[in-house]
Amino acid sequence: MGKFYITTPVYYVNDAPHLGHAYTTIAADTISRYKRLCGDKVLFLTGTDEHGNKILQAAKEKGLSPIELADRMVNRFKNLWDKLLISYDDFIRTTEPRHTRVVESIFLKLYEKGDIYKGKYSGWYCVPCESFWLESQLKDGKKCPECGREVIKLEEDSYFFRLSAYQEKLLDYYSRHPDFVQPPTRMREVLEFVKRGLKDLSVTRLNLEWGISCPVDKSHSIYVWIDALINYISALGYSLNEEKFSFFWPADVHLVGKDILKFHAIIWPALLMALDIELPRMVFAHGWWMMRGEKMSKSKKNVIDPSWIVDKFGPDYLRYFLLREVPFGEDGNFSLSLFTKRVNSDLANDLGNLLNRSLHLIIRDYQGKVPSPYHQAPEDEELKLKLNSLLPKVDRFMNNLSFSQALSSIWEIVRMANLYLDRSAPWRLIKNGKKERAGSILYNVLDLMRILSVVLFPFIPRGAGKIWEQLGLQADIEKQNLKETVNWGRLPSGTRVKGASPIFPRIKEENFYEIKREDKVSF
pLDDT in tens, 330-383: 999 888 889 999 999 999 999 999 999 999 999 999 999 999 998 788 889 999
pLDDT for 515 beyond 70: no
- List strand residue ranges (DSSP E) for 321-438, in order: 332-333
Q: Half-sphere exposure of 462 toward its Cβ, with a 13 Å CA cutoff?
A: 17
Q: Are β-strands 220-222 and 253-257 bridged in parallel, bridged antiparallel, or unpaired? A: unpaired
pLDDT for 517 beyond 50: no
Asked whether the whole model's pTM tops 0.85, one would answer yes
DSSP annotation of 151: P
Task: Find, among 138, 106, 114, the residue nearest to 125 by Cα.
Answer: 138
Q: What is the pLDDT of residue 298?
A: 59
Cis peptide before 250 (omega within 30 of 0): yes
| CA 43/CA 91 separation, integer angstroms | 11
CB neighbours (10 Å) of residue 175?
Answer: 10
| CA 348/CA 357 separation, integer angstroms | 12
Q: Half-sphere exposure of 361 toward its Cβ, with a 13 Å CA cutoff?
A: 25
The answer to whether 521 touches 16, Cβ cutoff 8 Å, is: no
Dihedral pair phi/psi, residue 485, rounded to 5°: -60, -35
Q: Could you write out the DSSP letters of every residue in 69-86?
A: HHHHHHHHHHHHHHHTT-
Run of H or E residues at 90: strand 90-93
Note the pLDDT tens digit of each residue in 302-344.
678 899 899 999 999 999 999 999 999 999 988 888 999 999 9
CATH class for the region spanning 335-485: mainly alpha
Q: Report CA torsion sign: 485, 488, 492, 496.
A: positive
| CA 85/CA 78 separation, integer angstroms | 10
Where would I find the H helices in 198-253? 224-229, 231-234, 242-248
The answer to whether 117 touches 232, Cβ cutoff 8 Å, is: no
Q: What is the pLDDT of residue 118?
A: 96
Q: Half-sphere exposure of 70 toward its Cβ, with a 13 Å CA cutoff?
A: 23
Q: Do the annotations mark residue 38 as ligand-binding?
A: no
For residue 438, the one-letter residue type is A
| CA 241/CA 410 separation, integer angstroms | 41
Q: How remote is the C-alpha of 284 from its chain's centroid?
A: 10
Q: Do the annotations mark residue 147 as ligand-binding?
A: yes
Model confidence at 514, in pLDDT bands (50, 70, 90)? low
The answer to whether 352 touches 504, Cβ cutoff 8 Å, is: yes
Q: Do the annotations mark residue 144 as ligand-binding?
A: yes
Q: What is the pLDDT of residue 322?
A: 97
Note the pLDDT tens digit of each residue in 248-302.
999 999 999 999 999 999 999 999 999 999 999 999 999 999 877 777 665 566 6
Domains of the chain, residue spans: 335-485
Sequence-ordered list of residues with C-beta below 8 angstroms from that of 243, at least 6 positions apart, any chain: none
Sequence-ordered list of residues with C-beta below 8 angstroms from that of 160, at least 6 positions apart, any chain: 116, 117, 118, 119, 121, 200, 201, 202, 203
Model confidence at 520, in pLDDT bands (50, 70, 90)? very low
Note the pLDDT tens digit of each residue in 10-51.
999 988 899 999 999 999 999 999 999 999 999 999 999 999
Q: What is the pLDDT of residue 433?
A: 94
> What distance separates the 2 farthest-apart alpha carbons in the chain?
90
| CA 302/CA 431 separation, integer angstroms | 54
Average pLDDT over the chain reads: 92
> Cα(first)–Cα(last) distance of the chain, in Å?
46
